[in-house]
Amino acid sequence: MAGLAEPTGSRVCGVLGKALCCTEPAPVLELGGGCSRAMAEVRVLVINTGGTIGMVPQSEGLAPEANKLAGALKKIPILHDSAYAAKMHIRLGTDTLVLPHSNQQSQNKTIIYTILELSPLLDSSNMTPADWRKIAKQLEENYEKYDGFVILHGTDTMAYTASALSFMCENLGKTIVLTGSQVPIYELRNDGRANLLGALLIAGQFVIPEVCLYFHNKLYRGNRVTKVDAESFNAFSSPNLPPLANAEIDITINWETVWRASNTKKFEIHTNMNSNVGLLRIFPGITAAAVKAFLQSPMEGIVLETYGSGNAPNNRPDLLDELKKATDRDVVILNCTQCLRGTVSSLYATGKALKDMGVVAGADMTPEAALAKLSYVLGKSELTLDEKKKMLSENLRGEMTSMPVGAKITLKDSRFIQEIARYLHVSCKEELAAVRDALTPSLACAAAKTGDLDALKALQNMGGNLSSGDFDGRTPLHVASCEGNLEVVEYLLKTGATVYAKDRFGATPLMNAIQFRQLDVIYLLRTTGAHLSNQELMNAGTELCSLAFNGDIDGLKAWHLAGVDLNQCGYDGETPHNVVKAAGHVEVIEFLSQLMS
């Protein structure tokens, strides 16, 4: 990272694959042996919005205190390594800290984190959509400067903010983790330290391209959680989706559950959230007058919290009439259940009555996610009403469980893997899956190298994870980028491969594509949000001069496409333009002159 010394520390890992430093650890085949490697540095931005984690007792009760957190964290040895910080070439800013190295397998990178405090710090009960926008803007502004993000937030409305950000962050490719605590971090016994530590380790080490929420040793999908306990450290529940990760002795990521964008678009934020939305919880005896009042203009959409699997009374024509009048006025009604677990269906006549009047089924969305989704979708003013309703019924960010489309090919269909499994004397489902997971990275990388799209598809259909790195942390996307297999690159991106994967040498697919002058691939990776790090950008000058000297026009084009300023000076202060003029490569002189004009 920019201006920072390379870390000198190295660690020993015992089991192959457990401490790889890229996106996803290669699956584990217990082959024994050890490996040691220097740790790469990563940058995490911590956006402090307030909440109990940084609160102190004041005359009116607990409230956040500004400009206190970074200084306090610097005094906590598990959250700041002052010796390492002192060893670095440049002095860290007052709000930048270094997470100490740990001998546990869970840490394979040096995590440098900067705290950005929003003003004013808020108890999350005081938050509004304007605050969601403020956070989203910070994410946008800092997206390319950091590898991952942690958002400190009060627990009361954390599920709403997590849900809202999950929709506002379109084509997300990096990890965003919200966390906070039930007891301030300044107290002797508190949950803030463990929550912050876990969130930093996850945001710094894994590319989980989701808005997540980390609490009490679990990482959840942000739009699946709800606050269920005001007193326990175990404050959140994700009733319809298992955690994305469990932080036990190791941090185990449930990669099969991780949501991935299936397009090749760049990260952007959508801030136009519609405020004319609300939550209406029905109850026995609710009056038609109350429903009518709630649905009055300017209301444009409501989440109707119904009973059980989406039922509302069908013996109450007065009530149904008010709902019908609202849908006729184009008010969008999204049906969610009051139950913590389970999904809306039209199993019962009482549920079907709602469906028949144009109410959209919200499947198993939490009310928080449903409200945020409604606000997001209704904010898309370019869409027609039908398009908005369609979007509401679709799974946009993993917020709902959608029905499986077609049967999946199972492991049983792979003769090759079965043969290997037989040879290894494994037979049960779990062992077969382990063999598949162990073989997938190597097979997928080989297929990416030869451009064998069918093989990649077969591996994916078997449930193989095409984002896993091999033993050097090289993913199929790295390999396909080197080879310039555009079709494969596109397929991998559409099946959720991350452009931010780093191999053990710190190289991303974009760096690989530049090295091999794969211009089409560079263009596609850039469209998908790939970018060079500050250090790569800063170090490019000398390489550019060398390319200019050798008249390597494709090399220069590759760097240019990757977003590098070709006027940068090399180590001796010369620009590539001066170098090429001296060397006399006419075509390159013309190319650089055109860029400069």
Q: Which residues are catalytic?
A: 52
Q: Smaller CB distance to ligand ASP: residue 29 or 118?
A: 118
* Nearer of residues 96 and 182 to ligand ASP, judged by Cβ: 182
Given a contact cutoff of 8 angstroms between Cβ atoms, the answer to whether 305 and 274 are in contact is: no
Mapping DSSP to helix (H, G, I), strand (E, B) and coil, where does residue 238 land? coil
Euclidean distance between CA atoms 227 and 239, whole angstroms: 11
Closest approach of ligand ASP to the CB of residue 330, in Å: 35
Which residue, 149 or 160, is less far from ligand ASP as judged by CB? 160
CB of 303 to ligand ASP, least distance (A): 21
Give the containing element (helix H, strand E) for 437: helix 429-450
8-state DSSP, 103: S
Instruction: Provide the binding-site residues for ligand ASP, judged by CB under 6 A.
Output: 51-52, 123-125, 154-156, 180, 182
Residue closer to ligand ASP (CB basis): 107 or 181: 181
Alpha carbon 379 to chain centroid distance? 22
User: Is-contact 326 317, C-beta < 8 A?
Assistant: no
Query: Whole-number minimum distance, CB 158 to ligand ASP, in Å?
Result: 7
Nearer to ligand ASP, 52 or 238 (CB): 52
3 state SS of 58: strand
What radius of gyration do the chain's Cα atoms show?
Answer: 26
Which one, 143 or 236, has the nearer CB to ligand ASP?
236
Q: How far is the CB of 49 from ligand ASP (least distance, A)?
A: 9
Q: What span, in angstroms and rounded, lies between the C-alpha atoms of 537 and 560?
A: 11
CB 51 to ligand ASP: min, Å: 4
Q: How far is the CB of 164 from ligand ASP (least distance, A)?
A: 15
Q: For 556, list phi and psi in degrees, rounded to 5.
A: -65, -40
The Cα 216–Cα 233 span in angstroms is 6
CA–CA separation, 475 vs 481, rounded Å?
Answer: 10
Comparing CB distances to ligand ASP, the nearer of 107 and 182 is: 182
- Give the CB-nearest residue to ligand ASP: 154
CA–CA separation, 226 and 340 (whole Å)? 9
What distance in Å separates the CA atoms of residue 29 and residue 435, rounded to the nearest whole number? 8
Q: Which is nearer to ligand ASP, 227 or 577 (CB)?
A: 227
**Number of neighbouring beta carbons within 10 Å of residue 314:** 16
Provide the angle, in degrees to the nearest 10, between the axes of the packed helices 429-450 and 476-483: 10
Q: How far is the CB of 242 from ligand ASP (least distance, A)?
A: 24
Could you tell me where the DSSP H helices lie in 94-246? 129-142, 158-168, 192-205
Q: What type of residue is 389?
A: K
Query: Among 190, 18, 219, 206, which Cα is nearest to 103's?
Result: 18
Burial class (CB in 10 A: 0-12, 13-18, 19+), 484: middle
Beta strands 251-253; 245-247: pairing state: antiparallel
- Contact between 303 and 334 (Cβ < 8 Å): yes
Residue 276 tokens read as 């004319």
Query: What are the φ and ψ backbone dihedral angles of 575, each rounded to 5 degrees?
Result: -90, 155
Q: Minimum distance between the CB of residue 245 and ligand ASP, rounded to whole angstroms?
A: 21
267 near 171, Cβ under 8 Å?
A: yes
Please state, in angstroms and rounded to a whole number, the distance separating the CA atoms of residues 332 and 370: 12
CA neighbor of 108 nearest in space, from 238, 214, 20: 20
CB nearer ligand ASP, residue 38 or residue 72: 72
Give the end-to-end CA distance of the chain in Å, rounded to a whole number.
32
Chain CA centroid to CA 523, Å: 22
Task: For the CB of residue 376, give the shortest distance to ligand ASP in the complex, in Å.
Answer: 22
Minimum distance of ligand ASP from residue 230's CB (angstroms):
8
Asked whether the beta carbons of 202 and 245 are under 8 A apart, the reply is yes
Task: Select 215 or 591, whichever has its Cβ closest to ligand ASP.
Answer: 215
